[in-house]
Amino acid sequence: MQPLVRSVLDGYNVCIFAYGQTGSGKTFTMSGPRDLTEKSQGVNYRALGDLFLFAEQRKETFRYHIAVQMIEIYNEQLRDLLVSDGSNKRYPCKSPPSAS
C-alpha cells in the first residue's frame, strides 16, 4: 500500500478496490475485525495511517489537502460509508436509457 499512498502525496488519484462474492472477506480485509487493534487494522486504516504519517513528514516542504471517499456498491445500490449521521446515504442511480 505504501507505493499507492506515496502516489497520492505526489498528486495522483488512487482507488483501493475490493471485489468478490458475498462473504469472501472484503470488509474484513478493508476494515479489519470488530475488536480493532493496531496489528489487526485493515487496508483502509493502514493506508490512511501511512497517508497522514507521510504528509506530516513532508509538512515543511508541502501543504496537502486530503479528501477521502469510501463507498460501497451492494445490490446495485451505491452507499456512502462515511456518512456521519448513521443514515448510510444511498446515492441515486440513473437508469440506462430505454431502447426504442
- Residue list, annotated binding site: 20-27
Residue 97 domain flag: no
Q: Is 78 within a domain?
A: yes
pTM over 0.75: no
Q: Which residues are annotated as a binding site for ATP?
A: 20-27
Number of structural domains, the chain?
1
- Cell of residue 7, nine digits: 502516489
The C-alpha atoms of residue 73 and residue 27 are separated, in whole angstroms, by 12
State the residue range of the domain holding 83: 2-91
| pLDDT tens digits for range 41-78 | 999 999 999 999 999 999 999 998 888 888 888 888 88
* 98 falls within a domain: no
63 belongs to a structural domain: yes
Tell me the HSE value of 79 on the side-chain side, using a 13 A CA sphere.
Answer: 11
Q: Tell me if 5 sits within 8 A of 50, measured CB to CB.
A: yes
CATH number at residue 21: 3.40.850.10
